[in-house]
Structure 1
Amino acid sequence: MNLELRHLKVVCAIAETGSVTKAASQLGLAQPALTAQLQRIERTLGGPLFERDRRGARPTALGELVLSRARVLLPAMKGLQDEAARLAGTAGTETMSRYRIGAIGGPILGHLVHTLATAQPDAQITTYASYWVEELATMLQGGKLDYALVGVCGDAMPSADYGLVWQTVAVDAVCVLLPEDHPAAKDVDVDLAELAHEEWVGSTGDGCLAECFAAACARAGFTPRRVLETDVRGCVDIVESGFAVGLCQPTFRPPAGLTHRPMRGAPLRWRQVLGWHPDSAAARSAPKLVEMAEAAYREVVARNTAYVEWMADYPHLGGSADALAPLSGH
């Protein structure tokens, strides 16, 4: 692992607060994630940076050396960034000419790209598709992408190990994709227990959705018979064949003959988030991209009027400010 400025920020935060737990809170990270990050930094530097006990964390001799350098480097880098921004006349108002957006299949990307292209017709916009949040996070960290638009399960957020900023765009109930003539399609939502006899299919990806789905089924009193995993087109084909019902987002537009219904009580949720590196040039344009992504979500979800009406009973869902309050657990 190469030592980066974000690692020096971690060391300084621990020294300033005198505690890994307090530093994690200050940095907006989970304590186990910060501990793991500190261990990687210490392995890179060849020894412990802090003596840790019940009284807190105190720098070792090696830690004092690292801190002395960090306290010079971090202000110097901040000064360089500020001076560069002033010289370019772009501080806080940068308009990027190139946008590299990575995404995991979802409903927002198309409208976001369209909105961005309309606002900046001369901008170069490229997209990169992946099934894996970690792949996109690694590309953000390495400067190969400017933004990543991904989905994560429930109350989770992507790993803090990459030093990225993640902003929630919307939270939705996971829906069941099924034939229009399926008995469970008769109501506005689906009682999960009524589907205990079904086979299931979902799209490929990482995260904890499979485990959370199994837990939701257990709470409903059954163990799912089988859960297949494939791409979105494969999911549609399998549901159309009548072999299984699927998991999907409410913003997905099913083909003729299929429909979807939210699960009653919203036992499973899907969170759309936009991420970027805080030290990148893209960070200054991030608020604009977040606004565009939120607008894209509103446009897409409005097509499903039945779901929008159903959400009225679930104020923690959707794209409103109240629904997007930060969540710290899972």
Structure 2
Amino acid sequence: MELELRHLKTIRAIAEAGSLTRAATALGLAQPALSAQLRRIERALGGVLFERGRHGVRTTALGELVLERTRIVLPAVSELQREAARFARAQGEGERLRLGGTHGPLLGALVDRLADTAPGTTVTTCASWSERELAEMLTEGRLDFALAGTCGSTPPPDSPRLAWEEIAVDPVFVMLADGHRLARGREVDLAALAGEEWACVPGDGCFADCFTAACARAGFTPRRMYETDTASCVHLVQVGRAVGLCRATFPPTPGLTIRPLTGTPLMWRHLLGWHPAGQRPDTAAAVLARAREAHAGAAARSDSYARWLAQRRPVPGAAAHPAHATAPGTGSISPGQGVG
């Protein structure tokens, strides 16, 4: 029998599980089948890899040698597969784009822009609550581009290996039911919401910690936070169960009033990421331009954001894009740099 990659994965699984029973469960095999497979592998390698005992298995000296090589070979083969996938996609540029994004209107708006400017390109999307998951999919070659975000100056995920460009920097606004006592004002002081419950979409960044810190500066500890999907957040706000946190580009919605928070205590950076080895510079530049257009269009459709921007209109000659009208950004974030 010739040794194959699947045999190395089996050895690794047994060593990590410490038991043939647990390894069989992890691999989806019956234990007798795994035991028979291990015996065939050991015959091919010329010796015993694991000592069996009442409390599980332990690697022999030969087993340690094989495991050491396995830790080198398996990651190398995985990286080869990812590089080959990125190279193949780069060669077929213009035919297909796979976009990922956190849940929100910007992903759909980007698809709409690309449909106009690249009608021959097939665009597919994948949405995730996790910025880290999107970064992992970029690194592994399962996505071409990803829309993600970070709170304040937090570095984007996996920045040493991925290229990130800033699309825009937005203030975080608050969603109120139309009948809420604070809905008629032009803006809302965070301290005035001390007695409220809150609704927000989930994520794996630092936004929850930044929000809690902002509340502490305003003199209170936030009550219950409902982390749920956008539609559920909207419903909780509409029925008066909670007030919601949203990006300033949140679209007009019946029953909701969107208002800025006084002093802009929270900011959100929109980012576009990709793996530099898998994309041509002109393609990345084109997708970034469409993403910025999509954000500008979303900002223009928000009356509350338009009023907020008008109060902070930049001096003549300054950049007109909302990102630069709200807060200075880095613009370009090269691999290895953060966004602060």
Decide whether the 8 Å contact of 2:197 with 2:224 is kept in 1.
yes
Deviates more, 1:235-244 or 1:314-323: 314-323
Post-superposition shift, 1:264?
Answer: 0.9
Q: 2:329 aligns with which of 308, 317, 324?
A: 324
**1:50-61 paired onto structure 2 within 5 Å:** none
**1:166-185 paired onto structure 2 within 5 Å:** 166-185=164-183
Decide whether the 8 Å contact of 2:258 with 2:304 is kept in 1.
no
Could you give the per-residue CA deviations for residues 253-300 of structure 1, whole angstroms, max 9, x where no partner exists? 243111111111110111110000011135441111111111111111
Post-superposition shift, 1:161?
Answer: 5.3
Structure 1 residue ranges (4+ consecutive) displaced by more than 6 angstroms after TM superposition: none
The 3-state SS of whatever aligns with 2:324 is coil
Post-superposition shift, 1:95?
Answer: 5.2
Q: Does 1:305 find its partner at 2:303?
A: yes
* Alignment-derived partner of residue 233 in structure 1: 231
Q: Does 1:133 find its partner at 2:138?
A: no
**1:76-87 paired onto structure 2 within 5 Å:** none
Decide whether the 8 Å contact of 1:141 with 1:164 is kept in 2.
yes
* Alignment-derived partner of residue 143 in structure 2: 145
**1:194-273 paired onto structure 2 within 5 Å:** 194-273=192-271
- State the one-letter code of the partner of 1:168: E
In 2, Cα distance between equivalents of 1:287 and 1:173:
25
In 2, Cα distance between equivalents of 1:323 and 1:95:
33
The 3-state SS of whatever aligns with 2:294 is helix
Post-superposition shift, 1:237?
Answer: 1.4
Post-superposition shift, 1:312?
Answer: 3.8
Q: Which has more radius of gyration?
A: 2
Change (3 A) 1:262 1:190: same
In 2, Cα distance between equivalents of 1:193 and 1:168:
31
Decide whether the 8 Å contact of 2:97 with 2:122 is kept in 1.
yes
TM-score, scaled relative to structure 2 = 0.66
Change (3 A) 1:257 1:267: same
In 2, Cα distance between equivalents of 1:99 and 1:236:
31
Decide whether the 8 Å contact of 2:260 with 2:304 is kept in 1.
no
Post-superposition shift, 1:241?
Answer: 1.9
- State the one-letter code of the partner of 1:324: G
Count the aligned residue pairs: 243
Change (3 A) 1:165 1:279: same
Deviates more, 1:155-164 or 1:295-304: 155-164
In 1, Cα distance between equivalents of 2:100 and 2:151:
18
**1:109-124 paired onto structure 2 within 5 Å:** 109-124=107-122
In 1, Cα distance between equivalents of 2:227 and 2:156:
21
Decide whether the 8 Å contact of 1:179 with 1:239 is kept in 2.
yes
Give unmatched runs, 5+ long, in structure 1.
1-43, 46-76, 89-93
In 2, Cα distance between equivalents of 1:320 and 1:288:
20
Give unmatched runs, 5+ long, in structure 2.
1-70, 73-82
The 3-state SS of whatever aligns with 1:118 is helix
In 2, Cα distance between equivalents of 1:325 and 1:116:
25
Change (3 A) 1:129 1:282: farther
Post-superposition shift, 1:225?
Answer: 1.4
What RMSD in Å do the two structures reach over aligned CA positions? 2.6
- State the one-letter code of the partner of 1:195: L
In 1, Cα distance between equivalents of 2:153 and 2:310:
20
Decide whether the 8 Å contact of 1:217 with 1:224 is kept in 2.
yes
Decide whether the 8 Å contact of 1:147 with 1:282 is kept in 2.
no
Decide whether the 8 Å contact of 1:294 with 1:319 is kept in 2.
no
Deviates more, 1:285-294 or 1:107-116: 107-116
Post-superposition shift, 1:209?
Answer: 0.6
Post-superposition shift, 1:228?
Answer: 1.4
Decide whether the 8 Å contact of 1:148 with 1:276 is kept in 2.
yes
In 2, Cα distance between equivalents of 1:254 and 1:291:
25
- Percent identical across equivalent pairs? 45
Decide whether the 8 Å contact of 1:178 with 1:259 is kept in 2.
yes
Post-superposition shift, 1:251?
Answer: 1.4
* Alignment-derived partner of residue 62 in structure 1: none
The 3-state SS of whatever aligns with 2:105 is coil
In 1, Cα distance between equivalents of 2:260 and 2:153:
17
TM-score, scaled relative to structure 1 = 0.68
Change (3 A) 1:250 1:329: closer
Post-superposition shift, 1:307?
Answer: 1.6
Could you give the per-residue CA deviations for residues 218-237 of structure 1, whole angstroms, max 9, x where no partner exists? 00011111111111111111
The 3-state SS of whatever aligns with 1:235 is helix
In 2, Cα distance between equivalents of 1:125 and 1:293:
14
**1:261-300 paired onto structure 2 within 5 Å:** 261-300=259-298
